[in-house]
Structure 1
Amino acid sequence: MNLRIRFYITLLVLLKAMAIAQPALSQSDRNDTNGEQLLFILPEGWKEEFKDRTESLSTTEYIPEGQTETDWEEMLTIQILLNKPSTDPVKMMSGITKYLSQDCRAFDYRPIDIGGIDNNYPSMAILALCGQKKEGDSGYVSLLRGISGKKNFFLLQKTWKTKLFDTQKKSPINLEQRKFWLGYLSYLRICNNEQGDCPKNLKLD
């Protein structure tokens, strides 16, 4: 099972599990998601490769120019779990790492301190290390950042495909690359015109 399919299943399972604890939403709430959005800047030299939206999940994937959907080395993924108001980012990220670990023979993760509140929205980041996937002879390194919005939960992920490696030793992705992309993910913001915290003259898609 490839990484994309596995991760989608993870999020759908989490959505189903957390629905029990979430208050019911009115029809107008379910339809109104345009007020809250991610202030996103596509890195230079990257392109959109995949986009999908269901009633509960919006996913967009980006890869460097010259790479393809089936043959990529780096990927940037933006996922929005729709109609998940004020979700606890610690519980959500804990659940995500738990399910990611089930796809790896060797797995580790490390919380990253980037500040718990960003523009009044709770946020959490982790570094996920998969030294060997259960299927195939590769691993991956991922930086993930979750942001809890008033209406939706935003998950930002930067992933590198790697050869097999020991998760308890030096990461195959050097510190400078990880620092650069952590800075990029930390820079991204969400805002809501209804809350009055979006930049002026911002046009919503």
Structure 2
Amino acid sequence: MHADHPTDSQGRILPDPAWPPGREAPGDLELVRRFLNTANRENGADRFAEPGGLTAWTTAEGLPVVPADPAEHARVVAFREALHTFTASHTTGAAAATGELAPLLAPVSFAMTAADGGLHLQVTSPRATDRLLGTLALAVLDAQYRGTWPRLKACLQCGWVVYDGSRNRSARWCSMTVCGGREHARAYRRRKAATRGRD
């Protein structure tokens, strides 16, 4: 991330949801990636730390503008964290934990429509929070249908979400020069220490 990024009240660099270049997800899945990357899980900086931050982000993204309401804010943050856990399972291989998503999506209304020679699922809820969560859920559903959802992964080191475009779907890091390099350096130090211990 760049040094000229905005910082929060504690001086921590706020996350740039579009980072790193070249790891964007296709179609509407990119919106899900940017949503998940509004929190930096290493330094604690969070664009949604206050309800106003969520309002600003939804406005900038051209999404249904979620009002600066503590209850609505808490629901969106809980959805983000539950969806991040779901995404992390693509990297770790753990069973997908989706149970926390269901109650957060329960208030959202959907309707099936027929247009342009096909069937379409749309969010019909009037509340902005429901429309936001419904839009994100439909993007995930579409990615599952297209087979791209398992390629959205959370970095094993920092939790940053990237799209794995590799042929064998083996990516584990947000960037080989950042987290991948750190892990390789740690592994090297462990091997050296083990070698010294045998001497």
TM-score by length of 1: 0.28
Query: Higher helix fraction: Structure 1 or Structure 2?
Result: 2
Specify which structure has the bigger relative contact order, considering alpha-carbon pairs within 8 angstroms and separated by 6 or more residues.
1
* Structure with the bigger percentage of strand: 1
Which of the pair has more CA radius of gyration? 2
**TM value normalised by structure 2:** 0.28
